[in-house]
Amino acid sequence: MMHVTLTHYLVISAILFSLGLLALVTRRNAIMMLMGIELILNAANVNFLAFSRYSALDIHGHVVAVFVILLAAAEAAVALAIVLNIYRTFSTVNVDQINQLKE
Amino acid sequence: MELTDIIFYIFALVTIGSAMIVVFSRNLVYSAFSLMFTFLGVAGLYVLLLADFLAVTQLMIYVGGILVLMIFGVMLTHRVVNVEISSGAMRVIPATIVVGVFLGTLLLVLTRTKWMVMEGSPDVIGTTSMIGTALVTDYLLPFEVSGVVLLVAIVAAAFMARKR
């Protein structure tokens, strides 16, 4: 418990990243894996903004974070469309039961 | 300990705690809803990092867009009538060990490294106009390309999700 520095933000970001990674590798549900990816992207954004605030004192980290959020939105839309198609074809979204690319 | 430090610890606690619920909850709907609190906590951290535009963007796009999309995904791919919307896990113990070692290494490196830290805070009041200027000057090409990426993503998602 002391004054908040850059390291505090980096530690939070590392914990968020690890939790996202854990969700990504252990969960079988495709939507749950997407949530893990979102956690990882958020961790990366916290890192960008923390370095932008404490180490560079400029705006470039913010711009990169804007692009990360944009790509996360595009990724979520396309991935959920894929998940819907998988559900229509296999009647499940558990990734360990999906083993062919065509019907 | 100043007030901002206390607020930081509150937001950090909300973020990490709800992220743990996201990962360890058995119920997919609980995960989706606690993901909202993770996003809110991260938005609070953005405010403390003097990123006001990013904080509002986080609220509008993540909480208002991506999260709604996730919940739609849960509703459309599971029968909601049977309350059992669970998502199984596999190989939990080896994965936890590997991720724990990974996290330990990360934390060790993070706390041992002497980061280059500038004193003081950037003298900015509102980052929105600066981000806007940077987007149309230094980052013009990535900006245009990301517009094309969004268009392609919209068309692809609509094309794939329609009924045949």
Per-residue exposure over A57-75, b if at least 16 CB sit within 10 Å of its own CB, e if not: bebebbbbbbbbbbebbbb
Domain count of the fold of chain A: 1
Does residue B118 fall inside a structural domain? no
The radius of gyration computed from the CA coordinates of chain A, to the nearest angstrom, equals 17
> CA-to-CA distance for B84 and B104, rounded, in angstroms?
35
Please state, as a whole number, how many other Cβ atoms lie within 10 Å of the Cβ of residue A103. Answer: 6
Work out the pLDDT band at B18, boundaries 50, 70, 90.
Answer: very high
Work out the pLDDT band at A12, boundaries 50, 70, 90.
Answer: very high
Does residue A1 fall inside a structural domain? no
Comparing B91 with B39, the larger pLDDT belongs to B39
pLDDT at B61: 92
Does residue A102 fall inside a structural domain? no
- pLDDT tens for each residue of A16-35: 999 999 999 998 888 999 99
Residue for token pair 């199984």: B88
Work out the pLDDT band at B164, boundaries 50, 70, 90.
Answer: low
Mean pLDDT of B17-33: 90
Q: Which residue of A has its CA nearest to B118?
A: A55
Specify whether B67 is located in the same domain as B7: yes
pLDDT at A98: 83
* pLDDT > 70? residue B83: no
Does residue B135 fall inside a structural domain? yes
Query: What is the span of the domain harbouring residue A69?
Result: 6-97
Say whether A14 and B106 touch across the interface (CB within 8 A).
yes
The pTM of this model reads: 0.90
Is residue B115 a contact partner of residue A7, using CB atoms and an 8 Å limit? yes
**Contacts of A24 by beta carbon, 8 Å cutoff, 6+ apart:** A33, A36, A37, A40
Specify whether B2 is located in the same domain as B34: yes
Query: What is the span of the domain harbouring residue B152?
Result: 126-164
Say whether A55 and B117 touch across the interface (CB within 8 A).
yes
pLDDT at A86: 87
Work out the pLDDT band at B102, boundaries 50, 70, 90.
Answer: very high
Range name among A52-56, A95-99, B11-15, B121-125 with the lowest pLDDT average: B121-125
Report the CATH number that the domain containing residue A32 is assigned in CATH.
1.10.287.3510
Q: Which residue of B has its CA nearest to A55?
A: B117
Q: What is the distance in angstroms between the Cα of A82 and the nearest Cα belonging to chain B?
A: 7
Specify whether B153 is located in the same domain as B92: no
Classify residue A4 as left (phi > 0), alpha (psi -120 to 50) or beta.
beta
Is residue A60 a contact partner of residue A37, using CB atoms and an 8 Å limit? no
Token pair belonging to B77 = 């791919």
Q: What is the distance in angstroms between the Cα of A89 and the nearest Cα belonging to chain B?
A: 11
Mean pLDDT of B26-53: 92
The angle subtended at Cα A61 by Cα A58 and Cα A65, nearest 5°, is 145
Provide the mean pLDDT of chain B: 88
**Of A35, A36, A42, A37, which is closest to residue A12 (Cα–Cα)?**
A42
Specify whether B89 is located in the same domain as B131: no
Report the CATH number that the domain containing residue B75 is assigned in CATH.
1.20.120.1200
Q: Which residues of A touch B87 (CB under 8 A)?
A: 27-29, 31-32
Does residue B114 fall inside a structural domain? no
Specify whether B15 is located in the same domain as B68: yes
Specify whether B68 is located in the same domain as B137: no
Does residue B120 fall inside a structural domain? no
B 64-103 residues inside an 8 A Cβ radius of A: 65-66, 69-70, 72-74, 76-78, 87-92, 95-96, 98-100, 102-103
Specify whether B32 is located in the same domain as B84: yes
- pLDDT tens for each residue of A75-95: 999 999 998 888 888 888 888
